[in-house]
């Protein structure tokens, strides 16, 4: 079984590895179960990060003068990303590194 994302191999289970998993999962549902598990992991991660984003940004959006907050998750995220004070994880890490290097 090969797991690809954007045509790049992410994980490959050989026959022995699949057989180990099938020791606990019926063969007839193996592929569907693996797909369900992958989907769950990514969906769960998205939902948890979105929850944190919302907790952080609801007060910031209000402070930025935003009167209407979208209920659609994608629209909400686009609004947050459009804010001048929004920084991605990479930008926040870079800022933290710069602050630490300036410390006495």
Please tell me the predicted confidence (pLDDT) of residue 97. Answer: 82
Q: Is 87 helix (H, G, I), strand (E, B) or coil?
A: coil
Please tell me the predicted confidence (pLDDT) of residue 104. Answer: 64
H/E element holding 88?
A: none
Helices (H), 1-104: 15-22, 30-63, 73-81, 89-102
Structure-model confidence comparison of residues 7 and 104, the more confident one: 7
> Cα–Cα distance between 104 and 100 in angstroms, integer?
9
Please tell me the predicted confidence (pLDDT) of residue 101. Answer: 79
Its pTM stands at 0.81
- Residue-wise pLDDT for 65-98, tens only, equals 999 999 999 999 999 999 999 999 999 999 878 7
- Residue-wise pLDDT for 6-32, tens only, equals 999 999 999 999 999 999 999 999 999
For Cα atoms 94, 97, 101, give the angle at the middle one, nearest 5 degrees. 140
Structure-model confidence comparison of residues 103 and 44, the more confident one: 44
């Amino acid at each position: 079984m090969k797991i690809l994302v954007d045509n790049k191999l992410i994980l490959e289970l050989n026959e022995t590895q699949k057989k180990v998993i099938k020791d606990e999962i019926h063969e007839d549902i193996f592929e569907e179960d693996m797909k369900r598990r992958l989907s769950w992991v990514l969906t769960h991660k998205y939902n948890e990060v979105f929850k944190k984003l919302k907790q952080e940004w609801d007060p910031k959006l209000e402070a930025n003068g935003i009167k209407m907050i979208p209920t659609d998750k994608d629209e909400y995220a686009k609004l947050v990303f459009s804010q001048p004070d929004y920084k991605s994880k990479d930008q926040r890490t870079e800022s933290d590194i710069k602050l630490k290097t300036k410390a006495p």
